[in-house]
Amino acid sequence: MVKIAFQSPFAHKDEPKKEAAEALVAEQDPEVATHSREGSSGRCLLTLLGLAFILAGVVVGGACIYKHFMPKNKMLRGQMCYVGEDSQNQAAEPYFLPIAEEADIRETDNIAIIDVPVPKFSDSDPAAIVHDFDRLLTAYLDLHLGNCYVIPLNTSIVMPPRNLIDFFAKLATGSYLPQTYLVREEMIVTEEIDNVSGLGIFIHQLCIGKKTFRLQRREKLIGLQKRSAEKCHIIRHFENVFIVETKFCQQ
């Protein structure tokens, strides 16, 4: 059976060998006839094998699709508040402004993807932030401007993935007091990055098709301060027990 199956496509391809192959088939025909029972059980086995392959394909394919389209981890949600400043009225009671976040933190990939939705009571921009602990890079996608900003990951601000997961868990159970303080940082937009493929798969996914710029912390640029002409945007976010106000200024 198996021999015939191998040789018949061979015979179609190769004309001179066709006759020989046919002779071989003819020769083996009686054998096949006498072994027709074995043959049918063989076919049955092949069919089963085929079905098993198809089934395996469906299972593997399904798993791949699931892996691709379902979030690996459930989204973690957290909210913290900071004391707002009322410059007009010094005697006013302190009031708290909320910052909410949704985070997808994957320990296996060493990555934290944080969504900052449109803030309810503040002038900051909604954003998507990727902290890549393998590449040691942070990327901010300002969803208001549609621009991406990349800077080395500041490990003294951003908790590592395991600690971030624990922190969000504490926020969810309310065992952490969500009233905190604000840390300000100021960034200068420097050069544009033309090709984001060298920045790791996650930042690539975030920034592909967006105008992407490198950032530099303000304190490193003393002497280059022409603040009046600058356009600045802010994103308020947290990846530690305090809120960070990141200000991006275009020179």
Ligand X SMILES: *[C@@H]1O[C@H](CO)[C@@H](O)[C@H](O)[C@H]1NC(C)=O
Residues that bind ligand X (CB under 6 A): 154, 156-157, 183, 185, 195, 197-198, 217
Answer whether 209's CB lies under 8 Å from 92's CB.
no
Between 125 and 239, name the residue whose CB sits nearer to ligand X.
239
Alpha helices in the chain (DSSP H): 2-13, 18-34, 36-69, 161-173, 201-207
Min dist CB 183 to ligand X, Å, is 5
Q: Which is nearer to ligand X, 106 or 218 (CB)?
A: 218
CB of 72 to ligand X, least distance (A): 26
Closest distance between ligand X and the C-beta of residue 157, in Å?
A: 5
CB atoms within 10 A of CB 216: 14
State the minimum distance, in angstroms, from the CB of residue 239 to ligand X: 11
Which tokens sit at 227?
A: 């603040």
Amino acid at site 131: H
- By beta-carbon proximity to ligand X, the closer residue of 35 and 210 is 210
Compute the least distance from the CB of residue 155 to ligand X, in Å.
8
Amino acid at 187: M
Is the CB of residue 187 less than 8 Å from the CB of residue 247?
Answer: yes
Residues 237 and 244: beta-carbon distance below 8 Å: yes
Complex with ligand X: residue 32 or 193, whichever CB lies closer: 193
- How far, in Å, CA of 148 to CA of 170, rounded? 30
Other Cβ atoms closer than 10 A to 116: 24
- The residue among 156 and 228 lying less far from ligand X, judged by its C-beta, is 156
